[in-house]
Chains A and B, each alone.
Chain A
Amino acid sequence: EPEVTQTPSHQVTQMGQEVILRCVPISNHLYFYWYRQILGQKVEFLVSFYNNEISEKSEIFDDQFSVERPDGSNFTLKIRSTKLEDSAMYFCASRRPSSNEKLFFGSGTQLSVL
């Protein structure tokens, strides 16, 4: 089965630093997502991206966050100035165009903000 790949698997950063989390979605998918899971809490939707623009974002996705698809294959999540509470597992997901299609998830990037 095709896979969504995420790098790095674990990122440690200092509070206030910028981080970029990288994802390579499945090649024929058109919808892309970022989710996060703070330890012990539920998986939360951050943002969806389609046709080179954000199609929906949650309240969590404030001005500190941005997403980009810089080269047609990568899909990145940038956090400009990390806070302690940004520590979480970040999952990238993608799906084909039909709304009935399942999401394929990557293995996640564990972000630790110190």
Chain B
Amino acid sequence: AQSVSQHNHHVILSEAASLELGCNYSYGGTVNLFWYVQYPGQHLQLLLKYFSGDPLVKGIKGFEAEFIKSKFSFNLRKPSVQWSDTAEYFCAVNSISSNTGKLIFGQGTTLQVKP
């Protein structure tokens, strides 16, 4: 069965600290990979996505993620977090062969950045 696992449920960092959020997926075929962010009181927004090509993808607001196929991982990173990065972060996958394009989400990681 398809599944996505995010290792950290709640992360607390000080401003300027570096961030890495883990994401592993379990799926037999080829997948597209996504990171979504949900700021307090707002809707889910796409941070970045990986479909093919360079496994290191850059997204908005200084975020990047690296796809490591051998480890079935797609970890999210940011060198220096800001207070405004406080949000919930979701890793998600869908199958490239899916007719529906449905996303399977991880359980989410709450990031709290202290000023």
Contact = CB atoms under 8 A, between A and B. Distances in A.
Contacts of A108: 43
Nearest to B108: A42
Interface string A73-114: 000000000000000000101010001111101111000000
A108 B44 CA distance: 9
Task: Using C-beta atoms within 8 Å of the partner chain, give the interface range for chain B.
Answer: 20 to 34
A42 B107 contact: yes
A48 B108 contact: no
Given A42-B107, A107-B42, A108-B43, A99 B102 contact: no
B103 A31 contact: no
A64 to B, nearest CB: 20
Contacts of B108: 42-43
A48 B43 contact: no
Contact of A107 (B34, B43, B98): B43
Nearest to B42: A107
A50 B98 CA distance: 13
Contacts of B105: 35, 42-45
Interface of A: 4, 31, 33, 35, 41-45, 48, 50, 55-56, 91, 93, 95, 99-103, 105-108
